[in-house]
Structure 1
Amino acid sequence: MKIEPLSVDFNDEQKRYLEGLAAGLKVNLAGRAQTATAPLAEPSGPDAIHIKAQDKVLAAGRKLADQEKVKREQHPFDAYPRLKQQAHSNAAPSAADNFRWRYFGLFHVAPAQDSYMCRLRIPNGILKHWQLTGLADLADQLCGSYSHVTTRANLQLREIPPKHAVMLLEGLSDLGLTARGSGADNIRNVTGTPTAGIDPQELLDTRAYAREWHFHILNDRSLYGLPRKFNVAFDGAGRIAALEDTNDIAFSAVEVKDGFGVAPGVWFRLGLGGITGHKDFAKSTGIIVEPERATEVADAIVRLFIETGDRTNRLKARLKYVLDSMGHDKFMEAVESRLGRKLARVADEAIKPRPEADRMAHIGVHPQKQQGLNWIGVVLPLGKLTTDQMRALARIAADLGDGEIRLTVWQNLLLPGVRDENVAMACAAIE
């Protein structure tokens, strides 16, 4: 037996009644849905720690700095499609996007050049010869034909037309390099002792610790968008200073004597609050950190800074000013609370005198700890290298050295691993 569908015709009054009923049900259901999802108004995800810090400022009736408003309006990493659009049309960025693109390492420097500058990230300042050659090729194709070594043992490329910006970022990735987070309110390039692993007097090889912190930053979006820029350095007590006391966090390798309540041996002494240009150096906290826990401690310090740093006044937004307000002891107690444990503290007399740095060890020929090998420090006027010089130095590093190029905070470079019998030839080639 086939059942026919029921056919019902409604008059106009019935139709209006049913339409009103449906509308009422829709409003009621929407209200219930809103109530059910109300807890989702709490910020979540990797950006939550920053949004909560901004919300706290607004709740207190204060105004966010313009840069904080830009970050709040659209996270720079979420705006990447617009960077690609601007590259496609060779368009200069707006003021807001000029700030956002610094999260990708791009700084628009108009009107001086009407182009971008790109600042890289090179942990501990160490490059392979093929990377330096690749950078020279990229510079010739997409930028001005030169680079600069920076005061953070890093490289910068300049004269990048907007149309080449994305191609450059992709080209860096092809070389195993990145510029991510090297500008704006982020943790800058990680510096370390330039002679790490080859220095006769070092207490600690900083390469592994700088590398660990470097990748920790790159892979955690919550560590981008701080109240202001942030610097971290590792000094292994080698002959060439890393100038760690000019950084927000200074890890200085020290040797602790026996009989002071902690394991004797090499630790990092923790300094906080260095700020370049203000003649204010990182102050010792009295705390020493096991080297393998440096990243854990640095992470806790940065996250506390994210919550307590000034989001209203850019001139007072560095870690130094949080420390001035809270005091080092109270700040570190809050860090320990985050870590869930107390950090080791020792008196000054528990620490052996550190080896002295040599102000000239970044220039000329110096013996390494490896017998028969040397590093050669090369002076760069104003830190500048032409692309021809970049390729030539890379060839010297590959043919006569160990294949590495090490950048220093003195804006020059070292060619390590040069055998005794090859020193004269390498020096002649450099000249």
Structure 2
Amino acid sequence: MASDLLTIAASGARAARGALDVTAQNIANASSDGYVRRSVRMEEVSASGGNLRTGDLSLSGARVAGIDRNVDLFRQAEVRRTNSDLTRAATELRGLQNIESAVEQAGVYSAIVEFEASLQQLASDPSDPSQRAAVLASADTMARKFNIAAESLDAVGEGARFDASAAVEDANIVSGELARVNLRLSRAGEGSSDRASLLDQRDALLERLSGTVNISTSFAPDGTVTVKAGGSNGPALVTGGTSAALSMATAPDGTVSFAVDGAAIVPSGGSLSGSALALNQIAQTRSRLDTLAAAIAETVNTAQANGTDADGNPGQPLFAGAGAGGLRLVATSGAALATAPAGAPAGSIDSSNLAALRQALDAGGAAKSMSALLFDISSQVAGRGVTYEALDSIAASARISLEQQSGVDLDTEAANLMRFQQAFQASGRAMQAASDIFNTLIGIGR
């Protein structure tokens, strides 16, 4: 027999020591994010010749054949997909909540209502200077409220674009790291501890990247990964040891678009998708706000042009500027309000033109339009909130399923620790027995 008892026991001790090292590593990393439980794959030392022939390795002990990661690629892909959806929903919801706060806190709706109420009070005595001054004050307040709402929306958009730009930069960093991990994986030994650590790093980077943009992955036999951005039909972001550049462009209306090395992508998941959706909603809200401000200004200025002010002069515009951000009051005196019809003398108490203005504002539905805008935003926030909660539950279930399959169970590892310790001790006993037998045989020979 080519292998003696001492060699067999020594191989068993080495194998048990390797298993103990892996078990200790599992226990030490039980709470580490992204760590996948390892297990030692052992095998008998196979025979290289026939029984009782020279070079025979049968019954020669055991050896560590490799270190396996207990991972399920399907569960990992599901975690990445659900994480991408959840991050998109969270980013969009946060953007919508900021829009809602910006528009509601500006108080545009209440300012419109107060302006219309001041016009109604003026109708009781169109010659009263104090009531004319009150109308002018409420008109100025309304214009400023529109300005505040526009500035707040611009600030929300700027914040969303900053976050998206930071996410693009982070995605490029992660892509570069993935390319470097690919290079190291292609050189790592099969079944080695270093290879298992690299695979953990690869999977953690993929999950991090999925939180930025939805990705499609394909794995080579050596563990390297090819990543496409925006889905399976998107351009390659990582191929082997090289990574492409993800970029962002901003349109005049504040919306954003993305590209990988110049090839356009439309993310359907990740924070980039959520930011794009939020910025689209900001642009739509700003457009509706601008339209409403322009409609109010046009209605008031048209009524002014059709009437006569308190001094008997043709009415002049009350408002100037474009959109919600540029709307401003240009009249400086309550006497500028053209409450009387065209051609009326100075000091006329004929309020027919004022009535026409109130009727035009009512027909235009300024307050109703603003209320509808607020309602639409609130409805979207509520709807996205429900979506977020559902996606959060789905993502949590996917992660729990993955952790149950690939996470470290301390009870199991404690049992393995005792088992491999006993195996190591048994191998030591076998070596001691081999030594005792050898010494006995030597003693008999004497």
TM-score range, shorter chain: under 0.3
Structure having the higher helix fraction is: 2
Structure having the higher strand fraction is: 1
Please give the TM-score of this superposition, normalised by the length of structure 1: 0.20
Looking at both structures, which has the greater relative contact order when contacts are Cα pairs under 8 Å and sequence separation is at least 6? Answer: 2
